[in-house]
Amino acid sequence: MSLRHNKNLKTMQDFLLIIRTEGDVWTSLSPEKLQEHIEKGTDYIGKLMKDGKLKSAAPLANSSRIVSESNGLIKDGPFNETKEVIAGYFHITARDIDEAVDIAKANPIFKDIPTKIEVHLMRAIGG
């Protein structure tokens, strides 16, 4: 088994990729299209894994809530009122933000679903 992280650990940085889509887009795909979409996604993630670039990735369930403070009161409520949802996240390693952006661009999700991917550099200790 060789799911190893990239050997050049020193020069690698961690990035958080947040995948934003719209809530009901999945239901608009035909079963065949959905199957195809899943397969392409599996290949994409598998390649990141093999290259040692993927730390973790997961979809989010749609039960998100948001906790906020207002007038000294901390309250929680539904995550958002708009159609946009966070479909999931990728925690990856890349040499720099350009490589991280390239990785995000290669995500096959763009071919099937209106998507935005945020690419955030995670600040490391001493970074």
How does 73-103 read in b/e, with b if 16+ C-beta sit within 10 Å?
Answer: eeeeeeeeeeeebbbbbbebbbeeeebbeeb
3-state SS, residue 85: strand
Distance of CA 58 to the CA centre of its chain: 7
Near another protein in 17-46, by CB under 8 A: 41-43, 45-46
**Contact (Cβ atoms closer than 8 angstroms) between residue 86 and residue 19:** yes
Interface map 44-83 toward another protein (x if CB under 8 A): -xx--xx---xxxxxx------------------------
Q: Kindly tell me which of 17 and 119 has the beta carbon lying closer to another protein.
A: 17
Taking CB under 8 A as the binding criterion, the range among 2-10, 20-28, 75-83, 117-125 that sits at the site for another protein is 2-10
Q: What is the binding site for another protein (CB under 8 A)?
A: 1-5, 41-43, 45-46, 49-50, 54-59, 88
